[in-house]
Amino acid sequence: MSAAYQLPTWAVLPARADATFDRLARSAAEALRAPRALVVLVSKAGQVFPGAFGLPEPWASRRSMPLSHSMSKWVATSGSPLALRDAREHAEFATGPSVQELDAVAYAGMPLWGVHGQPIGVLCVIDTSPRDWTEPELAALHRMADDSSRQLRFRVIELAEQEAHAVAVRDDSAAQSAAEAARAAFVLAEADADRARVVARLSTALLPAETLPELLHTVDRLVRSPLGATTVLLGVAEVGAPELQVWSTASRAPRGTGPVACLRVDDAHPLAAAMRERHLVAVATPEEAGAFPGLLELPGAGPVLAVHLPLGQHHSDAALLVGWRQPRRLDAPVRAVVTDLARPVGHALDRVLLRDQRLRLAELPPGPAQA
């Protein structure tokens, strides 16, 4: 049996009971009149059961098993259903711990699909005696797997949104604390205090941002006064994609109209270089910045600083560029401020991109979009 898919590195949900998926497991067991049913998430690290019905101890409490116990691994790597009348009649499963220790004899499993077309788990029912699974039973299990896949995708996005928001709140609290500490030592650390205040204000202001234009205009508004900046650009690219979409707050790019330009990820442009090389890129002279006057929208373009934005999700990458129309020394305090902006802006962008994913999922028809 050849594998069509690689197992993910980790399971998208932790090894603990989830009330939604416990109900799905119970419904599957009742619909097929089976003593056990599981919502299984399979990864290279093992398998976890956010949903379980009829699972004996100690597995019911642990909610995890090693892959050596897994008959669902084949379903997750092939992306195909599996129905076994008697697993003991199949050489691949007969001597496995699932049969020997868990008395899993008859097995029927359907793949669960993730957002990006990858099987990430299995909805399965198990009987302790040989059993011929009927076509209506398998069709019912397939329908329930479709519903499980959709609920699983929503649950993953919800958890990612919650974590991204929690990180942003923690970031804001840390920035506020840093600002208070810096103010207490203002005479000795005036530059650090100014930087912390900028980051603290930005962290707080970004919390309600729900769209990319809202995020960008918030950043633009808060960096103009302390830094004297005249241009803010945001570049966002899908990981592995060759193009970097560029968003601007310039007057010709009104709120909500989308990106104003597109770069190649391997371009020499400072925005692309910062994202690609993951460090601060400084263009200090008007001659260097003037190589991109149309995109930067800086008549007599001045210096720019571009910084990579750390994102928690694994499907996008980004960078932020701050520019000035007039000559400006890119000294250590200015570079430090722009570097410190990366964390709150990155966390806010993470939330915006995750929210966009969730809205797109809500518009999909029922069932695995990739099936």
Question: Helix 332-362 to helix 135-184 angle, to the nearest 10 degrees?
Answer: 160
* Exposure letters 339-361 (e unless 16+ CB within 10 A, then b): ebbbbbbbbbbbbbbbbebbeee
Using an 8 Å Cβ cutoff, are 237 and 327 in contact? Answer: no
**pLDDT at residue 162, as a whole number:** 55
**pLDDT at residue 190, as a whole number:** 54
Intrachain domains 19-133 and 164-361 with the same fold: yes
Bond from prior residue into 226 cis (ω within 30 degrees of 0):
no
- Which fold does the domain 19-133 belong to in CATH? Beta-Lactamase (3.30.450)
Structure tokens at 125: 């029912």
pTM here is 0.50
- Which fold does the domain 164-361 belong to in CATH? Beta-Lactamase (3.30.450)
**pLDDT at residue 180, as a whole number:** 66
Rounded to an integer, what distance in angstroms lies between the CA atom of residue 313 and that of residue 329?
35
Reading the chain (371 residues) residue by residue, the pLDDT tens digits are: 445 777 766 566 777 888 888 999 999 999 999 999 999 888 887 888 888 999 888 888 888 877 776 778 888 888 889 999 998 888 777 666 667 677 788 999 999 887 777 888 899 999 989 999 999 999 999 999 988 888 877 776 665 565 556 566 666 666 676 666 555 444 435 556 666 777 788 888 888 888 888 888 888 888 887 788 888 899 999 888 889 999 887 644 445 567 888 888 888 889 899 989 988 998 877 566 555 544 554 444 578 899 999 887 667 899 999 888 888 888 888 888 888 888 889 888 888 888 888 887 777 666 554 44
- Our CA angle for 65, 69, 71, nearest 5°, is 115
Q: What count of Cα atoms within 13 Å lies in the side-chain half-sphere of residue 95?
A: 2
**pLDDT at residue 185, as a whole number:** 44
Alpha helix segments (H runs only) across 103-258: 135-184, 190-206, 212-227
Quick check: helix, strand or coil at residue 277? helix
Using an 8 Å Cβ cutoff, are 298 and 285 in contact? Answer: no
Q: In the chain, where are the structural domains located?
A: 19-133, 164-361
**pLDDT at residue 225, as a whole number:** 75
**What type of residue sits at position 338?**
V
In this structure, the number of other CB atoms found within 10 A of the CB of residue 8 comes to 18
**pLDDT at residue 70, as a whole number:** 74
